A and B are shown apart, each in its own frame.
Chain A
């Protein structure tokens, strides 16, 4: 039973560079979520997909951030022109949702830790 997989686990980059993270959800899960977590805080929601459709975006998701889930399977999160404040753990979660499947829990990956120099 493979869980949610995220790649890379760690990313160090210079300010101003672009970075892209990948999330592979649990295979039958149609819902996929991105969260951001800074030190000492709980995860904060960024965006959510149902299949390939991006249905909700947080105000935290500035125009430098973009997420895709082109075939309704894996997802990518790109940050352009990174800033110091982007340093955080980026978490992906997936769940199974739809008619008759309410309240299924979200399952998280172990995240990508981004450090901006």
Chain B
């Protein structure tokens, strides 16, 4: 699975959009991008995933660049409860394999 690079930390003002970047320049054509987050003392929570088209669900939007070498997770109106470590993970389509977590981005939403 391709390696991902994320900034170690970011701040965002409450009510504003949080844009979390992820670089996956070695991604292959059959690899999906997954986003998870982990709030302190809880297990990772699935947010969203996509292959090449932009995706949106009730939690977030995922924007994948046309060359697929990077993506951005967007939380449209961040709240204090969105403070968490956000992980960007790349995984081969159809794979039953485990997720490989990096260090993630610590997002702190400020009041």
Contacts and interface: CB of A to CB of B under 8 A. Distances in A.
Interface residues of A, number: 26
Given A42-B87, A103-B49, A105-B34, A56 B98 contact: yes
Interface stretch (A13-21, A63-71, A76-84, A106-114): A106-114
A22 interface: no
Interface string B36-55: 00000111111001000000
Interface stretch (B21-29, B69-77, B99-107): B99-107
A105 B98 contact: no
A42 B96 contact: no
A41 B96 CA distance: 23
Q: Say whether chain B's binding surface is mostly helix, strand, loop, or mixed.
A: loop
A35 B101 CA distance: 10
Contacts of A58: 98
A93 B99 CA distance: 10
A110 B42 CA distance: 5
B101 A44 contact: yes
Contacts of A97: 96
Interface in A13-70: 31, 33, 35, 41-45, 48, 50, 55-56, 58
B45 A108 contact: yes
A2 interface: no
B99 A109 contact: no
Nearest to A58: B98
Interface of B: 32, 34, 41-46, 49, 85, 87, 91, 93-104
11 contacts: A31-B96, A42-B85, A56-B98, A91-B43, A102-B95, A105-B34, A105-B49, A106-B99, A107-B46, A108-B44, A111-B43
Interface of A: 4, 31, 33, 35, 41-45, 48, 50, 55-56, 58, 91, 93, 97, 102-103, 105-111
